[in-house]
Copies of this chain bind each other. A is one copy, B any other.
């Protein structure tokens, strides 16, 4: 799954029709591209055609404007929905962090290791202690707190910053603040949250207390796109681990922390590698 130098990635969905695979692959071939990875599936139940295509841009004869134009034309008769991205244009990520930094550390460490196919361009937090973490990793930090209960003002600052820095993806790393419906709507499909339970079980607050009380034998964490309905957005990834009665709530919290980090980072990777296609309220993940 490592990205190779100089590739393009195309994500496509539409009603299934004969000839889609050949139309798309022929477009690439005709223009000198070599397909490196193709993953296509037609769902029997939904009737959806879903495809991810990666090709080598070395030797590809169309420039980006021409490619965009050609794909637009190709898409029209098939009523294709498509997204195209290039490996040399790294997505720019903003992380919103709260006071607990375990997810933030993992994101910044992955950036340092070169394991993200994107760049974390800035971190926004409502806690000044986050500054030190960012400075250690050499990532710009901005403190934005809600003053006098004026949440709209804080959000306006966030919006301005995201726009100024050309951010493509917002990651909520245990941010713990409710964002306004407008903000959520602006970042639909481009804002990832980590929920500390195996959704759809234990929606809402204090899931580990709920889990302890219910005596579940497995706890989980879920990374999902944020939508206006709490913890109901399209799920990108989930994972679980076993627990027992020896685990007090504090242990569940600690085990959950490990899960949260792993699941959030995997979801961010999947998004940045353009492996996630949103369809209605679910995702298709080309893994």
Residues of A within 8 A of B (CB): 1-2, 4, 16-22, 25-26, 28-30, 32-45, 50-51, 59, 101-102, 105, 109, 113, 115, 132, 136, 198-202, 212-218, 220, 234-240, 244-251, 254, 257-258, 262, 281-285, 287
A136 and B238 alpha carbons, distance in the complex (Å):
31
- With A213-B282, A238-B216: A21-B16 Cβ-Cβ less than 8 Å: no
Given contacts A2-B251, A19-B34, 19 further A-B contacts (CB under 8 A): A1-B247, A16-B34, A18-B29, A18-B34, A21-B21, A21-B35, A21-B38, A22-B35, A35-B40, A39-B39, A39-B40, A41-B246, A102-B109, A115-B257, A132-B136, A199-B201, A218-B240, A245-B285, A246-B287
Q: Which 10 A-B pairs have the closest CB atoms?
A: A215-B282, A201-B201, A38-B40, A22-B29, A22-B25, A136-B136, A18-B34, A2-B250, A21-B25, A245-B284
Question: Which residues of B are found within 8 Å of A282, using beta-carbon distances?
Answer: 213-215
B235 near A216: Cβ-Cβ < 8 Å: yes
Residues of B within 8 A of A33 (CB): 18
Docked-complex contact B244 and A287, CB < 8 angstroms = yes
Bound-complex Cα distance A30 to B26 (A): 12
Chain B residues with CB under 8 Å of A40's CB are 35, 37-39
A199 cross-chain contacts in B, Cβ below 8 A: 201, 216
**CB pair A245 B42 closer than 8 Å:** no
What is the minimal beta-carbon distance from A230 to any residue of chain B, in angstroms?
15
- State whether B216 touches A248 (Cβ < 8 A): no
Residues of B within 8 A of A214 (CB): 200, 235, 281-282
Once the chains are docked, how many angstroms separate the CA of A20 from the CA of B56? Answer: 13
21 cross-chain CB contacts under 8 A = A2-B248, A20-B35, A21-B35, A25-B25, A36-B42, A37-B42, A38-B40, A38-B41, A101-B109, A102-B113, A115-B257, A136-B136, A198-B198, A200-B201, A214-B235, A215-B235, A215-B281, A216-B235, A244-B285, A244-B287, A245-B284
Question: Within the assembled complex, what's the spacing in Å between the Cα atoms of A246 and B36?
Answer: 11
Contacts of A285 in B (CB 8 A): 217, 244-245
Q: Report how far A237 CA is from B216 CA in the complex, Å.
A: 8
A238 to chain B, nearest CB (A): 5
A25 to B285 Cα, complex, angstroms? 23
Please measure, in the bound complex, the distance between the C-alpha atom of A96 and the C-alpha atom of B247, giving whole angstroms: 30
Minimal beta-carbon separation of A259 from chain B (angstroms): 10
Q: Known contacts A201-B198, A235-B215, A282-B214: does B44 contact A248 (CB below 8 Å)?
A: yes
* Distance between Cα atoms of A213 and B46 in the complex (Å): 10
Minimum CB–CB distance for A180 against chain B, Å: 25
Q: How far is the CA of A32 from the CA of B113 in the complex (A)?
A: 48
